[in-house]
Amino acid sequence: MSAAFPPLRDELRGIEPYGAPQLDPALVPVQLNVNENPYGPSPETAADIAHAVGEAATTLNRYPDREFVELRSALAAYLNGSGGSGITPEMVWAANGSNEVMLQLLQAFGGPGRVALSFAPTYSMYPEYARDALTEWHAGRRAEDFSLDLDAARELVLDKRPVVVLLPSPNNPTGTALPPEAVTMLCEAAASYEPGGLVVVDEAYGEFRRAGTPSALELLPQHRNLVVTRTMSKAFALAGARVGYLAADPAVCDAIRVVRLPYHLSAVTQATALAALRHAPELLGRVDDLRVERDATVEWLRREGFEVADSDANFVLFGRFAERHAVWRGLVDRGVLIRETGPDGWLRVSIGTAEEMTAFKDALLETVRQTS
């Protein structure tokens, strides 16, 4: 018998698992740290979801539909009413959160000798997908105001020749939306070299963008190498169900089918997502309120003298603090959990209910008075 316990893979040693602190809501009741929708389903919608799950439970001895045909159709219909057109079920793929969708993209298209690229500051899971798919990671820089310098971005793509470019719009943690000309330019750049690159526009927060910024879904017919990812975790108020999805050329979905684990979307997940999609208008019904609250939060923070990044999302990045950890801690001590993330000196707050935002503002002012 061998006594040896194998060490972790070299590149994983000493790495802390990713994840925001999950503090007990009984102790820290105002939770504004992971960009959830603060409005849960109504009792009627919850009952309908429970009924659908109950039906699925009667056949839980069987594996679920591996190709989740019904869910792909329902997601395609939803996307065609939400910025897309002509999206068919074969163009849709789903998994346990858009995190899993993007990991699967890298498992299918990344790998040794291949590069994935994004522009920092950006979503901190991206380099982890690349690492886990044994793909080289490269991050360009965003401008001072967190926008993309399009010429520099194009140059970098042409230089690094990534197989996957990850472009969140709006970006996390800055809230910055991407203009459609940026998507077009980078799709053209990534199609101009061998073996070509996929441009993944991560619209996890897409439903929160302000009027006038179109979804990248509109550009799908023009670019075969464009992939648009979405999630039910944010605007759709369904983070607990773990459902993310993408729209792309059917060949992209077929490629992912090679790497996905069999039956990766449980029957319970599929039933939950289908029932939730039937209640889309209600679940998405507070998006406008959240946008208004976001804009009011940005204005308030600026009036109070903070620096604030323009946001098209359901969160706001603000600062700058010489000791951001002390400010974060001061808020926790006052019952408000926000996120210590982004460039040094900045903090991120998710948009909650009006009452939660009042608690946040009071706690922030008190903390800043005490720490300065």
Contacts with ligand PMP by CB under 6 A lie at 35, 97-99, 123, 168, 172, 202, 204, 231, 233, 239, 244
**Which CB atom, from 287 or from 367, has the smaller least distance to ligand PMP?**
287
**Which CB atom, from 171 or from 367, has the smaller least distance to ligand PMP?**
171
| Minimum distance from residue 171 beta carbon to ligand PMP (Å) | 7
Query: In a 10 Å sphere around its CB, with 0-12 CB exposed, 13-18 middle and 19+ buried, how is residue 12 labelled?
Result: exposed
| Minimum distance from residue 240 beta carbon to ligand PMP (Å) | 10
CA distances from 153 to 27, 102, 200 (A): 44, 21, 14
**Which CB atom, from 37 or from 99, has the smaller least distance to ligand PMP?**
99
| Minimum distance from residue 304 beta carbon to ligand PMP (Å) | 26
**Which CB atom, from 100 or from 293, has the smaller least distance to ligand PMP?**
100
**Nearest in space to 44 (alpha carbons), one of 352, 278, 234:** 278
Residue nearest ligand PMP, Cβ-based: 97
Q: What is the DSSP string of 187-228?
A: HHHHTSSSS--EEEEE-TTGGGSPTT---GGGGGGG-TTEEE
| Minimum distance from residue 10 beta carbon to ligand PMP (Å) | 27
**Nearest in space to 346 (alpha carbons), one of 59, 53, 142:** 142
**Which CB atom, from 35 or from 104, has the smaller least distance to ligand PMP?**
35
- Which alpha helices (DSSP H) does 110-263 contain, by range? 126-132, 150-160, 180-190, 250-259
| Minimum distance from residue 190 beta carbon to ligand PMP (Å) | 19
- C-alpha to C-alpha distance for 13 and 23, rounded to whole angstroms: 26
Q: What are phi and psi of 318, to 5 degrees?
A: -145, 160
